[in-house]
C-alpha cells in the first residue's frame, strides 16, 4: 500500500494568492505565438514560421470571476483614440509570464462595469489607496 499513488497536501503545488483587487492598475505580460505564412520559390510551396513574443497590457482590473483554479480577471485599458479594450485572462495559465501591480485603487464595487460608459480621463480615474505599496507577482 505504501507504493500506491495517493493524494497528500505536500504533493500539491502551493497556490499563490491574488495580491491585487478590483480597481487596481496592473500590467499583464503574456506570451503570444504568431504564425506567418511565407511563400517559397514556387506557388505551391508555402512555409509556416512561428514566432514567440511577450505582449504587455496595462489597465484596470474590472472583475474577478471564478474560484481557485478557474479564476479569471478582466482588464480594461484605453487604447488609441479613446477606444476601450477589455481582455479576460485566466490566472492559472502557462501563457502569463508576469503580473505586476502599478497602483492600488479604492473602489466600493465588486464589478466595475460602469467604466464602460465613461470616456476620457474619467474612464481611467479611480481613487488611490495610499496605505498600500505596489508589488510584483
Residue 133 inside a domain? The answer is: no
pLDDT the model gives residue 88: 94
pLDDT in tens, 19-30: 889 999 999 999
| pLDDT at 128 > cutoff 80 | no
Range of the domain at 117: 25-123
Tell me how far apart the alpha carbons of residues 126 and 60 are, in angstroms, rounded to a whole number.
9
Q: Which grid coordinates belong to 38? A: 511565407
64 within some domain:
yes
Residues 6+ apart with CB under 8 A from 82: 119, 120
> Does some domain include residue 119?
yes
- pLDDT surpassing 50 at residue 14: no
pLDDT of 90 over the 80 cut: yes
In a domain, 60, yes or no: yes
Report the pLDDT averaged over residues 97-120.
88
In a domain, 5, yes or no: no
Q: For the chain, what is the domain count? A: 1
Q: Choose among 63, 33, 59, 35: nearest CA to 49.
A: 35
Structural domain contains residue 65: yes
Specify the pTM: 0.72
Amino acid at each position: 500500500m505504501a507504493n500506491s499513488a495517493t493524494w497528500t497536501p505536500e504533493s500539491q503545488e502551493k497556490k499563490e494568492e491574488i495580491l491585487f483587487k478590483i480597481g487596481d492598475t496592473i500590467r499583464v505580460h503574456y506570451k503570444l505565438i504568431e504564425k506567418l505564412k511565407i511563400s517559397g520559390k514556387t506557388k505551391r510551396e508555402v512555409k509556416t514560421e512561428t514566432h514567440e513574443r511577450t505582449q504587455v497590457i496595462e489597465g484596470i482590473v474590472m472583475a474577478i470571476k471564478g474560484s481557485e483554479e478557474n479564476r479569471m480577471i478582466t482588464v480594461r485599458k484605453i487604447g488609441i483614440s479613446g477606444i476601450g479594450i477589455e481582455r479576460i485572462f485566466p490566472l492559472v495559465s502557462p501563457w502569463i509570464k508576469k503580473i505586476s501591480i502599478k497602483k492600488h485603487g479604492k473602489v466600493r464595487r465588486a464589478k466595475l462595469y460602469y467604466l464602460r460608459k465613461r470616456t476620457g480621463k474619467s474612464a481611467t480615474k479611480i481613487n488611490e489607496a495610499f496605505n498600500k505599496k505596489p508589488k510584483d507577482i
